[in-house]
Chains A and B, each alone.
Chain A
Amino acid sequence: GNSVTQMEGPVTLSEEAFLTINCTYTATGYPSLFWYVQYPGEGLQLLLKATKADDKGSNKGFEATYRKETTSFHLEKGSVQVSDSAVYFCALSGSGGYQKVTFGTGTKLQVIP
């Protein structure tokens, strides 16, 4: 079956530092890949997505590139802010009439001033 593996946290960075959160996946076929973010006390919300190999998803300064050869979808941001402190989930979606989304365990990011 499908699975997602992401680096364990927590990740603690100083403001303006470079961020990388690693994510690798196992899936049959050609899944779509996602990063969701969960701010404290809130539900998950979609941060970015990529639907085919070599696509780059981007949003709010975050980027991730769909690498089929390494089955990876690492999240990066050049300069993090305190407001980026949250839990980040890597996920993938297979095909189907409804969204069969498989999530990773989440990586908590804490940015300190």
Chain B
Amino acid sequence: ETGVTQTPRHLVMGMTNKKSLKCEQHLGHNAMYWYKQSAKKPLELMFVYSLEERVENNSVPSRFSPECPNSSHLFLHLHTLQPEDSALYLCASSPQGFDTGELFFGEGSRLTVL
């Protein structure tokens, strides 16, 4: 139990589907992150929310839409994805204001786009 829970663990979708990934943290943290993990590439930071406000958006295509309704929940809404978007999507959290560099990750959602 890592304290960060992601659902679903696996998702297969067509290019015209609309789906969402969900992340929930039980650690009392104030910052939450979405990362994309693709084979043989560094983890790509997609979005950061600090105190429910988006503070980072790393040139992510608009077909990915994040939502952070409160400090414990983070969503990634997916629409009209491409096959190259197939990857493991990791959610993480951290205590905002503490510059420890330590991130707490969920187990990831494995996305396959057909």
- B107–A34 contact, CB under 8 A? no
Q: How large is the interface on A (under 10, 10 to 19, 20 to 34, 35 or more residues)?
A: 20 to 34
Q: With A98-B48, A98-B96 as given contacts, are A32 and B42 in contact (CB-CB < 8 Å)?
A: no
Residues of B with C-beta under 8 A to A43: 2, 4, 6, 90, 92, 105-108
Between A43, A95, A97, A106, the greatest number of chain B beta carbons within 10 A of the residue's beta carbon is seen for A43
- A41–B107 contact, CB under 8 A? yes
Residues of A with C-beta under 8 A to B31: 98-99
Cβ of A103 within 8 Å of any chain B Cβ, yes or no, is: yes
Residues of A with C-beta under 8 A to B94: 98-99
Q: How far is the CA of A102 from the CA of B35 in the complex (A)?
A: 11
Residues of A with C-beta under 8 A to B108: 42-43
- A46–B43 contact, CB under 8 A? no
Cβ of A45 within 8 Å of any chain B Cβ, yes or no, is: yes
Contact residues of B between 65 and 99, Cβ < 8 Å to A: 90, 92, 94, 96-97, 99
- A45–B2 contact, CB under 8 A? yes
- B40–A105 contact, CB under 8 A? yes
- B107–A105 contact, CB under 8 A? no
- B99–A95 contact, CB under 8 A? yes
Closest chain B CB from A59 CB (angstroms): 12
Q: Which residue of B40, B96, B102, B106 is within 8 Å of A46 (Cβ)?
A: B102
Q: How far is the CA of A4 from the CA of B56 in the complex (A)?
A: 20
- B50–A98 contact, CB under 8 A? yes
Residues of A with C-beta under 8 A to B55: 97-98
Q: Which residue of A4, A44, A93, A105 is within 8 Å of B99 (Cβ)?
A: A93
- A104–B99 contact, CB under 8 A? no
Closest chain B CB from A32 CB (angstroms): 5
- B105–A103 contact, CB under 8 A? no
